Amino acid sequence: ALIAVIALVGYAMLHFMLDRAAYVSTADARIAADMIAVSTDISGKITSVKVSEGDEVKAGDILYTIDDREAAYTLAQYEAEAERLRAEIDREETRIQLASSKAGSEVEARRAGTHSASASVEAARSNFETAQRDYDRTKDLFERGLVPQSNLDQAKNALDTAQQALLRAQADRESAVAEQRTASITGEEVRLIEAGLPILRANLEQAEARVDAQKVVVEQHTIRSPIDGVVDELFYDAGEHSLRGFRMALLHDPNAVRVSANIKETDIRNVQVGAPVLVRADSEPGKLIKGHVARVHDATIAEAALMPNPNANGVFTKITQRISVRIDLDPTDVRLRPGSMVRVRIHKQKAARTTAAEPA
């Protein structure tokens, strides 16, 4: 029995020494996760809480709702203003179409009227010239006593009638030219309306931008989960008043947990990125979890402390420092909760030595 006990103790010591030679072990390790603090961009009264602590949520699930009546009224006002501008733009575009069609038809009609009046003037002038020649011949014959006075009076009357017809045709032509000019001015009014459209469109873009911005404000009154995860803590109840920028809930992704191990500085030389790791959780020590070293920090934990411990009294006590190591885990069915303790065994790996080049 004594020999068996000695052999068992020897085996245990040999196993311990081999384990110490092959692994860096520590119990100063815990499960860590990225804790997501959900905050709000607006202040207001909380109308409902849609989840409870410990609930699993999907990205986009509602956590809180905040009273959004004032924001909704403002959004409706901005949307009405944008709709008014759209209607005004449609009206102006319709006016342009109608005015352009009318102006084009009127200009063509007035141009045709001007051509007709010009033709009438030329015809009246031709009649006048004919009457003038007839009068001159009749007057010459009358002076020579070849025709009576009645023929001269008749020729004079025809000449006066032709002259009046010419004056009337010239007046009609001037009137037609004036009406054509008026139709052209109507076309200028169309261009004036077109010049006002860019201003209306710019106002519409500004109004639509206000609508889009207000929609964001309305959406901010609904607090949603940014990730698939678990609700760890809620900081407000229904009826309370939220404050802008303050955290409202705390979440984490249970599928993205890791191990944060604190390794002694005397062992850190044997820990390399990529080294395999064996992990046992204190909550389920019978199950082995595998992983690998993902990162070795460059500073000790003491250097990152909020309240460092300087040597102010001159008495120095040397304490072995610890360096944080991140360990990523392989998929496992073990429920790992952030903050829970684990034990890790990291397979030792020596760092590749680099030889400095000798100076030439």
Half-sphere exposure of 108 (CA within 13 A, CB side): 5
- The answer to whether 266 and 319 have CB atoms below 8 angstroms apart is no
Judged against a pLDDT cut of 80, whether residue 117 lies above it is answered with: no
Q: Which residues have C-beta within 8 Å of that of residue 322, sequence separation ≥ 6?
A: 28, 262, 263, 264, 265, 300, 301
| Residue count (the chain) | 360
Phi, psi of 267 (to 5 degrees): -110, -10
Q: What is the mean pLDDT of the chain?
A: 82
**Sign of the dihedral through C-alpha 267, 272, 275, 281:** positive
**Residue pointed to by tokens 């889009």:** 212
Summarize the confidence of residues 48-63 as an average pLDDT. 93
In terms of pTM, does the model score above 0.85? no
- The answer to whether 111 and 187 have CB atoms below 8 angstroms apart is no
- The answer to whether 162 and 128 have CB atoms below 8 angstroms apart is yes
Find the range with the poorest average confidence among 180-189, 208-217, 228-237. Answer: 180-189
Query: 84 or 92: which carries more pLDDT confidence?
Result: 84
pLDDT at 306: 59
Helices and strands per DSSP (H, E), number in the chain: 3, 14
